[in-house]
Amino acid sequence: MSGARVLVVEHEDGTGPAQFGERLTDQGLAIDLCRPWAGDTLPRTLDAYHGLLVLGGSMGPYDEDQAPWLPQVRKLLRQAVTWDLPTLGICLGMELLTVACGGEVRHAALPEVGLNDLTIHQAAFTDPLFAPLVDQDSRLRAVQWHWEETATLPEGAVALLTSERCTHQAYRIGTAVWGVQFHPEVLADDIRTWGAADVGPLHALGLEPGAVVAEVEREETRLRTLWGAFAEQWGRIVADGPGPFARQRIPVERLP
């Protein structure tokens, strides 16, 4: 597994790869953390990478005035789909993947914050990333923190998970590109600052930030085990992929 490189795109302070990054590093993958919000320049192409991880953020997928780097992230996501490069978009990352590939994102009628149950579609039982999890546990729970959602999947996308409030919680494009609306990377310490920043929006949903964090704390061990295994499975997919020099080259400028 050593030697595989993953580009990780972080959209704002406090939204890093958290336990996901720790698991990938433990597997021997090299993490190239790009923080465009802090002035880092995104690469023009994914030539040098075995995998792409696009993280969450408080902005929406259309908020280019707030985050002017979003068009380039969408280009990289389209390139990843074209190459079938192992890719994972988390929350905003999934929303950007949806928009980049012709789907639609809208404001959620009922935003999800805190722990939430996920319902498994049949396709997940044979999915390369999700099958090891759903074989072991028919009841998945994950941390949610989103006010946007995918309304229409990209053409050809395979639905994998849903929830009571959000139809599209996870999907796959091709064989190696995934989007998840929930946050498999975070635990209680990671969301504590989110709660402090979102006091008003949480109160509008009838939620207390401290109670949301406490609920995650109570299930911390289970979340760490479940989604840590998910991170490791994605890391294996990255490491076992063909690598950057075996893929067909398509200049990013020619992508739709």
Adjacent-strand bridge partners of 106: 149
**DSSP at 124:** G
Closest CA to 145 of 21, 62, 13, 56: 56
Positions marked active-site: 91, 183, 185
Closest CA to 35 of 54, 49, 18: 54
Type and span of the H or E element at 220: helix 220-240
Token pair listed for 170: 């996870």
CA dihedral 173, 98, 119, 54 (to 10 degrees): 80
Question: What is the Cα–Cα distance from 81 to 84, expressed in whole angstroms?
Answer: 5
Q: How many CB atoms lie within 10 A of CB 210?
A: 12
